[in-house]
Structure 1
Amino acid sequence: MKIIASTLLCLALAAPAHAAAIAQLKQFVSSTKTLSASFSQTVSSKGKQETASGVMELQRPGKLRWAYSKPFEQLIVGDGNTLWIYDKELAQITKRKQAGALGSSPAALLAGSNAIERDYLLREMGKQGDVEWLAASPKKADNTFESIKMGFSNNQLVEMELGDSFGNQTRIRFSDIKKNPALPAANFSFTPPKGVDLVSE
């Protein structure tokens, strides 16, 4: 099973010092226009684990880039209207409507509008070590993600834990986080390479 990203992404933030996790999340959404970070991802399913790593970028509202570099190259680009998933090894591109593909996923939560509490029930989960945790439960029962947890340390979103309806558990750790960097517009557009199979969903 290759790791695509039903877990698209997510990341960092600056918030008031020592603020609880929910306050930090709200501060992030209201103050972050762009974001970049490196990530490492582990997906656990039926006793097996797969790891991947790469770089993600975010431009609110609605634009994202999630580029896997290991163990294989895969690129996910959301331009605000269309979500492109390019698997270089398989020479295949999947094209989806972004709104339907993201729904109220973690990517929609972080890349979308400020309506966090419209789509999610937020609950503080307390502190574990140096990390403050919150749980975000999607209000829509048909959401792919059954559980979403976010961990903050030193006013940055440093970890996410996602549980989906297929029984997969995904853990994402972020590093090299940059808030509001200047990001080229070209990073959030995608032109299918010639000779690559295109599948529309």
Structure 2
Amino acid sequence: MFARPLALTLALATPALVAAAPAGDLAQVQQHLQSVSTMTAGFSQTDRNGRVVTGTMTLKRPGKIRFQYEKGVPQLIVADGNSLYFIDYQVRQVDRWPIGNSPLAVLLNPKRDITKYAKLQPTGDPGVVSIEVHDPGHPEYGRITMVFQKNGTAPGGLMLQGWVALDSQNNRTTIRLSNQRFNAAVADNAFRWNDPRPQGPRGR
């Protein structure tokens, strides 16, 4: 059984090392996030045991994201605009969380002011920007550390490369993105899913 990818919504255990990057970089991240309406990418997910699975990510703001795993992985993560769902088709189980209870909301809410809950992390590379996001009032939501590559052809001049996450049980997950594409048309039905529970509604 693969580790539950809820850790996608959480982040690094190491203490934040702040003030080693220009303050303008945080504003640039905010500009990038506000410039992205949709995004598609391939992803590679590595869990705390070193297990790697791949798939495709589809994002539509506000509030929608889908992590479609490779064939043979009976799991799905979908946010439908209100809630984040983890669906396990092998055991016919569905778990749900409010999107706002997760630092992953930084990707899903274009109006959210990240300067209130994000801190720059030093990278040692002027072409790379890293931010740590967490809600100090809700440490149980975990942390997420996102990494961007400066790229003049990407929205806001940044390309999201991936993130590292750690949940409240110290389960670490690393996501690496590839073939990122921005602001193409994405239909709302891309975020529908089939409920595997015997009595559940079908085709959400």
Shared fold, TM over 0.5: yes
For 2:134, give the aligned amino acid: S
Unaligned runs of 5+ in 1: 10-17
For 1:150, give the aligned amino acid: M
Q: Take 1:116 and 1:7, find their aligned partners in 2: how far apart are those partners?
A: 23
For 2:166, give the aligned amino acid: G
Greater fraction strand: 1
Residue of structure 1 equivalent to 2:2: 2
SS at structure 1 position matched to 2:134: strand
For 1:114, give the aligned amino acid: K
Unaligned runs of 5+ in 2: 10-21, 152-157
> Is this contact kept in 2: 1:35–1:59, CA < 8 A?
yes
Residue of structure 1 equivalent to 2:193: 190
Identity of aligned residues (%): 31
* Post-superposition CA distance 1:149-198 (Å, at most 9, x none): 111113211121112210112111000101111112211123425x7475
Q: Take 2:126 and 2:116, find their aligned partners in 1: how far apart are those partners?
A: 29
Residue of structure 2 equivalent to 1:107: 104
The answer to whether 1:136 aligns with 2:133 is yes
> Is this contact kept in 1: 2:8–2:165, CA < 8 A?
no
1:123–1:137 distance in 2 versus 1, CA, 3 Å: farther
For 2:148, give the aligned amino acid: F
- Deviation of 1:42 after TM superposition, in Å, equals 0.8
Compute the TM-score of the two structures, normalised by the length of structure 1. 0.76
Aligned residue pairs total 182
Q: Take 2:78 and 2:102, find their aligned partners in 1: how far apart are those partners?
A: 15
What are the within-5 Å matches in structure 2 for residues 1-201 of structure 1? 2-8=2-8, 21-44=25-48, 48-69=49-70, 72-90=73-91, 92-96=92-96, 98-99=97-98, 102-117=99-114, 120-128=117-125, 131-145=128-142, 147-153=143-149, 154=151, 155-192=158-195, 196=198, 198=200
* Post-superposition CA distance 1:64-110 (Å, at most 9, x none): 111111661311222113433322333x14152x52xx334232110
Residue of structure 1 equivalent to 2:18: none
SS at structure 2 position matched to 1:183: coil
- Deviation of 1:58 after TM superposition, in Å, equals 0.9
- Deviation of 1:116 after TM superposition, in Å, equals 3.4
- Deviation of 1:119 after TM superposition, in Å, equals 5.7
Compute the TM-score of the two structures, normalised by the length of structure 2. 0.75
* Post-superposition CA distance 1:32-69 (Å, at most 9, x none): 1111111001111xxx3222111111111111111111
1:180–1:87 distance in 2 versus 1, CA, 3 Å: same
